Structure 1
Amino acid sequence: MSAESTPEPGIPGEAGTTGGDDRGPRRRHRKQRSRRKGLLVTAWTAAGVVVLGGTGAGYLYFKLNGNIKSVDIDQALGTDRPTKIDNGSENILVLGSDSRSGSNKKLGGGTDDGSARSDTAMIIHVYEGHKRASVVSLPRDTLIDRPACTDTQGVEHDAANGVMFNSAYTTGGAACAVKTVESISGIRMDHYLEVDFAGFEKLIDELGGVEVTTTKAIDDPDSHLKLKAGTHTLNGEQALGLVRTRHGVGDGSDLGRIQLQQAFIKALVTQVEHVGIFTSPKKLYNLADTATKAVTTDSDLGTVNSLMSFANGLKGIGASKMHMVTMPVRYDPANPNRVVVLKSKAEQVWTALRNDRPIPASATTGTATGEAKGVVTSS
């Protein structure tokens, strides 16, 4: 059954609205500095910007094309994957990467050791007809059983039980992250988009900032963000601080940070819809240049033309048509700094997406939330 003949996903108050009162134990402040980088949002925006920047030819086209990095996920994973659903819907895994090299060193607050981490992950399900989407955030602190996988360099990595979700990317990069998500969900990822947080900061600045309203003051020394309650136009540095913050809002958990990210995504999508970039060819090109430098894609999206075609299929999905939830989890009784999957509720999410249906409200009722909902809203 197509999404057109079912209740429309993505409308606040309809099927899939996050709720629940299972707050779980309050998380303890970690001694280790938080390195959460909510960059997944940029991939969605970058794809749209590439469409706008794809009007040039010759040198400009080849320069933009040369900016894009791609990885051959299909070659690495082979045929042992969930069945591809061929009804026009798409599933995209979007990761925010935290590289410790180059310009990311300063932003990450770490050493230039060349390593990389995945600190944010989302599955974007675009429904048949490409009018609406559901977005499922995957908490990086979720304890999972990681499957064996082969990375894009052909190196094999053993399976591991009871490890954090983001260890998949750290262990085997993009291919192992995709393999793990497909193992958890039983859903084939049609595409992969990765965004580094140095590019995220630049892109927000190129867009002229993003306007949000905070209903409470935020003061988080870990993410270097200090905002009074009220309306703000965030520059790139402040936006990065917002999507990184966790100790300044809610219960101080990764789940609360995800709620801030989801609110910021909607504000960013709204900003892109209304930004006046067509009046300035230079601004148009600068946005496209920044966006293409910020992303790593699967090989099917590894050219400007491919990204243009892909983004054309998404540009009609505005903020009001995006339904955002977090994978159903509860706090781990043995360690309040970790969460574990609520399998029966999570299966409701995966079943809905596999069948191109709205996520039911029952899937996210009574799950851990992080208590930061409503702290940030679109202005």
Structure 2
Amino acid sequence: MRQSSTHAEGTRRRVRHAGELGWDDSLYEGADGGEAEGEGGEGEGGDRPPHGPDGRGGAPRGRRGRRRILRWSATALAALILGTAGVGYLYYEHLNANIKKADLNLGDHKAARPTPNAAGQTPLNILLIGSDARDSKENQALGGAKETFGAPPLADVQMLLHLSADRRNMSVISIPRDTLMKIPKCTDPENGKVYRATVLPMMTNESLGRGGPGCTVAAWEELTGIHIDHFMLVDFAGVVSMADAIGGVPVCVDANIYSHSSDGKGSGLKLTKGTHPVKGEQALQWLRTRYGFEDNTDIGRTKAQHMYMNSMVRELRENATLGNPQKLRSLAEEATAALTVDRGLDTVKKLYDLSNELKKVPTERITMTTMPWQWAVSDRNRVEPKPEDAEKLFRLVREDIALDGKDKKKPSRAEKTPDDPAAADEEIAVQVRNATRTETLAPVGSRASSVAQVLAGKGFTSATAEPGAASAQPKTVVRYPSADMEGDAWAVAKALGIPTSSVQRSTEVSGVTLIVGGDWREGDAYPKARAEDDKIPDSADALNGSNKKACMRVNPAFTW
């Protein structure tokens, strides 16, 4: 029988709270769950469409539409990774027993590890996941509708934390929870159930219910090409308890706000204009508020989560009270009890070491971003990655380029040699795909055939053109499915003058595949690459970690 809806190892044993260990805890201010989402209507966090161009959802009611899911932010995990330094010696085995574990990556695809820098250092990428799991009385009390108890969890907050190889800067990328994307094949480690790769795009938050957090990791690697080293997952009750243990996080609104409507929508957040410290359930309300911020969309909610995370980091570093052992004990107790992690982070010692690495980064070198997005063509109530801007942001992280633009110019790296040697050119079967369509131009006719002939002229006589035109691809890339074809893919790229940064491993292809993009619509020679712009796209909506003046814009319909 399934023990946890987040697919962690085993059944969590009863964990003693701080008071039972002789600590004066007093973490919770109330146990009634605060203002409910309402017994009728969609509710704040329901799985109905979160927004459209007009800020209103429009999908039909359904089982998920009745769930009234509370939304919150995995940014609360910063309390753990930045605050537990110094408490690793406390009740080591007790705290270790608090932590639940799950597999890191449940997909077949594994993104390539980054190449070490000249000093032998490599970046560190951690996926922070917020789960809406209803697998405990505490979560159910905070989560609303009773009929949702035990339902598959959703990964409603997803943030990739990137720590640079030299540990001098940190970048965070959020993906809106209603982003449409293809979810790769995942195998549930508990029962062996295989979830096939989706043919049509689906909401990214559904990945968690397809085997556990390892499927969310697999989906991220497939989308971004970024190798993920670890994940950390926390649930409703964990957000509340950690926020209390911290003692409050300052947040700001530019007007009075009451996130509540006559038809039951809203988180219940009620604040007056200005800056306020929030904790416990009020912190959870802030993190899940959509109705009341900006245009009532998930994008505004993401901005609020970024502000909260930045403020939390500053609070943990500047607040002297966190040097109090009792404060640290409470934080360590609540944080470890709230976590599900991969086996690379499954002890207090490992988390302590991680916190020390993260603390090396000054707040002014932390950059929060949102994945550049556009309204989805297939569903105007959902979003999808904005092709060129999103890929640019992902590339900057893959290449460990600081998003704040303050890095010194890095020396050019020696070209990596593929682990697998290439076969003879004439033996390499290459599929050539026409993806030259752009936002304003139709695909070039017979472009795949033309490029296949160019390859044949260079000795790749087994190159063939796929019929028809594929979906738009801004940049020409060479993809391969497995390590034994890496050398072949590099050989194709080298013959055509395509940069090796455009050679990608992907389970979406079955063999070496050349995808001719919008940057090569004509000519036999691949266009000489321009010097790549390493400036972060404006559409990423960057927020610097040291910005103390950030304030959420309140929607006029939700002020008082």
Same fold (TM over 0.5): yes
The alpha carbon displacement at 1:283 in A equals 2.2
The alpha carbon displacement at 1:282 in A equals 2.2
Separation in 1 of the partners of 2:339 and 2:307?
Answer: 22
2:107–2:184 Cα contact (<8 Å) kept: no
The alpha carbon displacement at 1:120 in A equals 0.3
2:79–2:246 Cα contact (<8 Å) kept: no
Query: In structure 2, which of residues 150, 175, 189 is the aligned counterpart of residue 114 of structure 1?
Result: 150
Separation in 1 of the partners of 2:207 and 2:184?
Answer: 9
Query: In structure 2, which of residues 535, 538, 556 is the aligned counterpart of residue 365 of structure 1?
Result: 538
For 1:89, the aligned partner's letter is P
Give structure 2 stretches of 5+ with no counterpart.
1-50, 261-265, 404-532, 543-548, 554-560
Match of 1:10 in 2: none
The alpha carbon displacement at 1:52 in A equals 2.7
For 2:76, the aligned partner's letter is T
Q: Given the superposition, is the C-alpha separation of residues 319 and 219 from structure 1 closer, same or farther in structure 2, using an over 3 Å criterion?
A: farther
Q: Does 2:89 correspond to 1:55?
A: yes
Question: Identical aligned pairs, as a percentage?
Answer: 33
Q: Given the superposition, is the C-alpha separation of residues 366 and 276 from structure 1 closer, same or farther in structure 2, using an over 3 Å criterion?
A: closer
Q: Given the superposition, is the C-alpha separation of residues 278 and 288 from structure 1 closer, same or farther in structure 2, using an over 3 Å criterion?
A: same
After superposition, the C-alpha distances for 1:165-219 in whole angstroms (9 at most, x for unaligned) are 1111122211111110000001110111111121111111111111122222221
Separation in 2 of the partners of 1:374 and 1:286?
Answer: 29
The alpha carbon displacement at 1:40 in A equals 1.2
Q: Given the superposition, is the C-alpha separation of residues 264 and 34 from structure 1 closer, same or farther in structure 2, using an over 3 Å criterion?
A: farther
1:182–1:189 Cα contact (<8 Å) kept: yes
Q: Does 2:202 correspond to 1:158?
A: no
**Structure with max Cα Rg:** 2
2:207–2:216 Cα contact (<8 Å) kept: yes
The alpha carbon displacement at 1:38 in A equals 2.7
Query: In structure 2, which of residues 54, 70, 77 is the aligned counterpart of residue 26 of structure 1?
Result: 54
Separation in 2 of the partners of 1:108 and 1:99?
Answer: 8
Q: Does 2:127 correspond to 1:127?
A: no
Separation in 2 of the partners of 1:172 and 1:107?
Answer: 24
Separation in 1 of the partners of 2:53 and 2:133?
Answer: 32
The two structures have a TM-score, normalised by structure 1, of 0.85
Query: In structure 1, which of residues 321, 332, 349 is the aligned counterpart of residue 393 of structure 2?
Result: 349
Separation in 1 of the partners of 2:383 and 2:321?
Answer: 42
Higher relative CO (CA 8 A, sep ≥ 6), structure 1 or 2?
A: 1
Q: Given the superposition, is the C-alpha separation of residues 34 and 345 from structure 1 closer, same or farther in structure 2, using an over 3 Å criterion?
A: farther
Q: Does 2:83 correspond to 1:45?
A: no
Stretch of structure 1 that moved more, 28-37 or 345-354? 28-37
**Secondary structure of residue in 1 paired with 2:56:** coil
For 1:357, the aligned partner's letter is I
1:150–1:156 Cα contact (<8 Å) kept: yes
**Secondary structure of residue in 2 paired with 1:336:** coil
2:187–2:211 Cα contact (<8 Å) kept: yes
Count of matched residue pairs: 347
Query: In structure 2, which of residues 240, 253, 257 is the aligned counterpart of residue 214 of structure 1?
Result: 253
The alpha carbon displacement at 1:229 in A equals 0.8
**Secondary structure of residue in 2 paired with 1:122:** strand
After superposition, the C-alpha distances for 1:140-183 in whole angstroms (9 at most, x for unaligned) are 10111111112332331111122101111122211111110000
Query: In structure 2, which of residues 318, 325, 339 is the aligned counterpart of residue 281 of structure 1?
Result: 325
**Secondary structure of residue in 2 paired with 1:337:** coil
Separation in 1 of the partners of 2:303 and 2:270?
Answer: 18
After superposition, the C-alpha distances for 1:88-113 in whole angstroms (9 at most, x for unaligned) are 21111110111112110011113252
**Secondary structure of residue in 1 paired with 2:201:** strand
Q: Given the superposition, is the C-alpha separation of residues 280 and 362 from structure 1 closer, same or farther in structure 2, using an over 3 Å criterion?
A: closer
Separation in 1 of the partners of 2:81 and 2:257?
Answer: 30
The two structures have a TM-score, normalised by structure 2, of 0.58
Match of 1:317 in 2: 361
RMSD of aligned residue pairs (Cα, Å) = 2.4
Separation in 2 of the partners of 1:39 and 1:351?
Answer: 25
